[in-house]
Amino acid sequence: MRAMALLAVIVVMLSGVPISAVNTGTVPLSKVPLGAAAAILMDVASGEIMHSRNIHAKLPPASLTKIMTALLAAESGKLDAVVTVSPRAVEVEPRNIWLSPGENITLQHLIYGLLLRSGNDAALAIAYFLAGGVEAFAAMMNERAKELGAVNTHFTNPHGLPDVTHFSTAHDLALMARALLHVSFLRRVVATTRYRAPWENRPYQRIWHNTNRLLQLMPGADGIKTGWTRAAGRCLASSATRQGWQLLAIVLDSSDHYGESRALLEWGFTYYRRVVIIERGLYMGAVRVRGGEPAALGAVTAEELSWVAPRGHSLQVSTAVHLPHDLRPPIAAGSVIGELSVAVGTREVGSVPLIADQAAYPTSWLRRALHRANLYLRFLHRALLTLP
């Protein structure tokens, strides 16, 4: 199938600043004095890095490890499954949510205990349930990390307690946190300040309060996970949303993990802005339909694509439309029929599916015969008009 490419250039003007200044990271950070060993600020929708400091330094992640544990648990599709707590899951200290050997609790409740109370026992219960043991679960964690592009990470356990071969980076943890925020269930969990869970064989429930105090300290804060060990220092994966725009930050080994995280997030909202560079439903061309009605379909963008830029800077956006030369019916409305590649400056930043704006159906043999007869009669008519 041949492909047709159409190149378009769109300039999203935020001001008249030259395009060479786009996303250079030159917005001053003088008002954000960071003492963390490593830090990163990222736009959740696009994955664009807005600020970085030692983001590839391999450091102990403490309980930020549990971001990956929660991601694997949620992606297992077994949220309603009942987990019988392994005796080995309660041998860890501190236990945090006080699981008992043989206790029955759903995987969903374990994830709440894992992320709100940083349950080391919850982490081990999840590992034994999903993989049969810590070593096998750590292998799953490392494999998923690589799939996300977190190539400077090595996990040996599901909770983050110290191990010299257990490490990650601010950049890798941001990739994992971004993946977590793209799972609606986990997004709800990390934004929860208080949660009740059943406690088997007890007349009362467990009540868990989120250890992440940023949820109370910062307007719009909605995640993600705290962490601390003596080796790792204070760590925080955080997120906040303003007017539908979500940013995430990671700080590792910080003496003021809440203050520095809030400062980073506020800096991002203040000095950057979110720009919709591709609108949903944008018409990008037509494709012929062979033997169908209608004879052509419009190709429109299936979703919007946004990017971030420093306030006062302009974006140069180029798009390439990839559509087939023709299509054969039947074609349902909304079917993916092509792709729009999008670049900012010289860098490709994403793609948007192109979908059919309406349905197309095969024409009947009678209708095709009448159409051909009509074309033949028109030909004869034109020929007769040319006779002397």
CATH number for the domain including 175?
3.40.710.10
Residue with tokens 């993600």: 224
155 and 286 share a domain? no
Paired tokens of 360 = 């197309």
6 and 155 share a domain? no
CATH number for the domain including 377?
2.60.410.10
In a domain, 40, yes or no: yes
Specify the number of domains making up the chain.
Answer: 2
Selecting among 46, 66, 86, 314, the annotated active-site residue is: 66
What is the amino acid identity at position 371? Answer: H
Q: Are 351 and 342 in contact (CB under 8 A)?
A: yes
118 and 5 share a domain? no
* Core vs surface per residue 35-52: b (16+ CB within 10 A) or e: ebbbbbbbbbbbebbbbb
- The full DSSP string for 146-190 is HHTT-TT-B-SSSS----TT-BB-HHHHHHHHHHHHTSHHHHHHH
In a domain, 265, yes or no: no
Selecting among 86, 118, 168, 261, the annotated active-site residue is: 118
Q: Is 11 helix (H, G, I), strand (E, B) or coil?
A: strand
Paired tokens of 172 = 């890798």
- DSSP 8-state class, residue 301: E
Paired tokens of 97 = 């949510």
pTM for this prediction = 0.84
126 and 90 share a domain? yes
In a domain, 11, yes or no: yes
175 and 226 share a domain? yes
Q: Is 145 helix (H, G, I), strand (E, B) or coil?
A: helix
Q: Are 296 and 283 in contact (CB under 8 A)?
A: no
| Residue-number span of the structural domain to which 320 is assigned | 1-27+273-388
In a domain, 264, yes or no: no
28 Cβ partners below 8 Å, 6+ apart?
A: none
118 an active-site residue?
yes
In a domain, 262, yes or no: no
66 an active-site residue?
yes
Helix (H) or strand (E) holding 112: helix 107-116
52 and 115 share a domain? yes
- DSSP 8-state class, residue 65: G
Along the 388 residues of the chain, how does pLDDT read in single tens digits? 434 444 444 434 333 333 233 343 444 555 567 899 999 999 999 999 999 999 999 999 999 999 999 999 999 999 999 999 999 999 998 888 999 999 999 999 999 999 999 999 999 999 999 999 999 999 999 999 999 999 999 999 999 999 999 999 999 999 999 999 999 999 999 999 999 999 998 999 999 999 999 999 999 999 999 999 999 999 999 999 999 999 999 999 999 999 999 999 999 999 999 999 999 999 999 999 998 989 999 999 999 999 999 998 889 999 999 999 999 999 999 999 999 999 999 999 999 999 999 999 888 776 667 667 777 788 788 878 777 6
284 and 238 share a domain? no
In a domain, 267, yes or no: no
C-alpha dihedral, 312 to 280 to 278 to 52, nearest 10°:
70
Selecting among 63, 86, 238, 239, the annotated active-site residue is: 63
Calpha distance 192→213 (Å, rounded): 11
- The full DSSP string for 24-54 is -S-S--TT----SSEEEEEETTT--EEEEES
250 and 292 share a domain? no
In a domain, 193, yes or no: yes
Q: Is 287 helix (H, G, I), strand (E, B) or coil?
A: strand
